[in-house]
Structure 1
């Protein structure tokens, strides 16, 4: 019978293509991974990886077991989630993820209060705009701005989000009356064509920059790079947190936008819906965010 750790080490090397990268993922040193892979190969009398100068490449033997190894991983993770789902202790680690702006400006201080109230619960915080994999427990709870959460997740849409059209404070609305003026716009990295809002408001427009996060979009607008559609909460959040004085640097243009399909969600995997510590933190986060509902749902022009 194979040790599950053998499969776990095999998959890490197969995915990362190197022993050193796999070691970082597994939280062990380089020599441990190398030793475990070598022992696994010797146990079965096969070579799983060709050691090349640019990394480890799977052999035909590795290809033959890769899908089965993935199935074993899925089953192991399912067992782990099922057991965790029965845990009624208010202690242990919670893997929590959210974006930088929500953590730094809204939830950092409340989470400190939560820890004081529940000293047995420890938080492993991942501050990122990326939706982490909640199937393999990269995150147990995710505070996310999204329009359509994955099906395997359960949670609550705490509030909807309102968007507005923003430009730098120096942007002169009078220029829009000039039929020859081309409005520079800033869009998200996955928007290769002019988005609907820009085509409707500014028929004569041109994409001048693509960005991959909200802070970058705000900074680009503030610098005068162009016009963008931004979630209204962000400039107001920076102002309320004392990070910026948006009224001196950025302006919301007088164009009403329909409420967004996106909202602020607090999510967890369906298998963890009964885990005591996870549900305790989930309810705490929902309560804190509901106190900021007006921030997310209000626009100067509606």
Structure 2
């Protein structure tokens, strides 16, 4: 009969994955080192596969051990949620919600919002992924998305949280050159992975002769290079407002305004965890 993994097996594997040594795993499990060693050997024999490889860096988990460790963490979270539910009553919100957004939205809008309300939901866990694609929701890889768009997909439901404006930002020393010779400035832009980004479209229309000095894979990285004094960039106001040393060197860029949408799939609205997070983000995200 095929061996059935139980919770003690999962905690054993998780301890060794986290500790990377028999001694550390034994400490976590409150047993002796020889017990951990024998238990791992016994489990590997029962499963018919190696779980760890011994190296100078300690016990390195194989793919099988990583898979077991992931399940162990989920079981651990479920038990924690159950304990909170017993302590706080049946109204506790628990589970895991997957959220996707761009790097700029994550750092400048989402994280400050989470810091305000997540302490009130100790049994709710989040998986955060940065991406520029709506496909995350379409493929069910995420439950909620924060997106800058004027045309949200029709198959998603959501709320418009506000309108975002863009302007040219940089250090004060660039102000005169922005007005007189913008093409000669060191421009910082997103790379070719985002050819349709509103700032890319604007630059091609208004400054087609500009040769960028720096290209980055995300707008938050662009903003940090601008903050370092390496050049100027077209940035969303919400990204630049909290970065020390940056100044708005132009009026709002024409044709660049973008709506900020909080989106989810229709089937997710029935999930209490998703709906709770959706409502909290609606109240707390401040573009």
Same fold (TM > 0.5): yes
3-state DSSP class of the match of 1:207? coil
Aligned: 1:104 with 2:111: yes
RMSD: 3.6
**What is the SS of the residue equivalent to 1:184?**
coil
Deviation of 1:210 (Å):
1.5
Residue from 185, 209, 215 that aligns with 2:214 = 209
Answer yes or no: is the 8 Å Cα contact 2:168–2:233 preserved in 1: yes
* Distance (Å, rounded) in 1 between the aligned partners of 2:256 and 2:137: 25
Aligned-partner SS, 1:205: coil
Q: Which residue does 1:143 correspond to in 2?
A: 146
| Structure 1 residue aligned with 2:232 | 227
Q: Any residues of structure 2 matched to 1:83-232 within 5 Å, and which?
A: 91-97=93-99, 98=101, 99-113=106-120, 115=121, 121-131=123-133, 133-135=136-138, 137-174=140-177, 176-177=179-180, 182-190=184-192, 195-199=200-204, 201-202=206-207, 204-232=209-237
> Take 1:263 and 1:175, find their aligned partners in 2: how far apart are those partners?
26
1:13-71 Cα shifts (integer Å, max 9, x gaps): xxxxxxx66875xx337xxxxxxxxxxxxxxxxxxxxxxxxxxxxxxxxxxxxxxxxxx
Whole-angstrom CA distance in 1 between matches of 2:237 and 2:277: 27
Question: Any idea what the Cα deviations from partners look like across 1:84-121, whole Å, max 9, x if unmatched?
Answer: xxxxx8644131324233233232222223x1xxx6x5
What is the aligned counterpart of 1:28 among 68, 76, 80?
68
2:45 alignment partner in structure 1: none
The counterpart of 1:280, out of the listed 257, 276, 283, is 276
Q: CA deviation at 1:155?
A: 1.1
Contact 2:175 2:249 in 1 (8 A): no
Structure 2 unaligned blocks of 5 or more:
1-61, 70-90
Q: Distance in 2 between matches of 1:199 and 1:133?
A: 29
Deviations 1:119-140 (CA, angstroms, capped at 9, x unpaired): 6x52223153455723554322
Structure 1 counterpart SS, 2:251: coil
| Structure 1 residue matching 2:137: 3-state secondary structure | coil
Distance 1:100 1:233, change over 3 A: closer
Aligned residues: 199
Q: What is the SS of the residue equivalent to 2:187?
A: strand
Q: 2:202 touches 2:256 (CA, 8 Å); kept in 1?
A: no
TM-score normalised by L of structure 1:
0.54
Task: Give distance in 1, aligned partners of 2:148 and 2:178.
Answer: 34
Question: Contact between 2:166 and 2:257, CA under 8 Å: does it hold in 1?
Answer: no
Is contact 1:96–1:140 with CA below 8 Å preserved after alignment?
yes
